[in-house]
Amino acid sequence: MGRKAGIDIETIVETAARIADRDGFDSLTLSGVATELGIKTPSLYNHVDGLSGLRRLLAFHAASTFGELATKELDGLEGADALRAVAHVDRKFAREHPGLYDSFLPAPRPGEDDELYQALAAPVYTIAHVMLDMGIAETEAVHLIRGFRALLHGFLDLEGRNGFGLPVDLDTSYNLSVEIFIAGILAGGTSK
């Protein structure tokens, strides 16, 4: 049996992304992708190296999609405005692509899969460039990047899992959290 017309790696990854966003990253299976594509599961092995290979390709796709969104949203911004935009992009991406967002973690460590490590580090580098442009010393920036990512990811993870039970506006909570973090950076005397 030959390959079904129109089935290529891009189609497979886009289908996997759609499933992951709809059903959750952990729900992604080869049989689910094959069913959506109208093919038999073994046919996927002509294109991907099992589920782990598909998830790896999905993480590349997620990094690329996030990068395109960030480039567009951060164009012309700098300083605190750029940091606010990073927070906005992160939340927009997590809401629109929850499965892709979950594909970012766990990220490989340096030396495990250098190509994927570099792709998944791109969003972190975006934050780093913004902070360095704000005049934050490189040695201090690492700590602030970790704190900022933890703030964003923690909030978005709780939001995505319906972890906030009170009927209080989540947009206000998110924006306030980001503003408090930025105010702390600016009050620390590290910005230009």
CATH code of the domain covering residue 17: 1.10.357.10
Whether 192 is in a domain gets the answer no
Judge whether 4 lies within some domain: no
Domain that holds residue 103: 9-187
pLDDT < 70: residue spans in the chain: 1-6, 189-192
Residue 1 domain flag: no
- According to the model, what pLDDT value does residue 123 have? 85
* 29 within some domain: yes
Give pLDDT, residue 188. Answer: 80
Written in H, E and C, the secondary structure of 70-86 is HHHHHCCCCHHHHHHHH
pLDDT for res 3? 46
The number of folded domains in the chain is 1
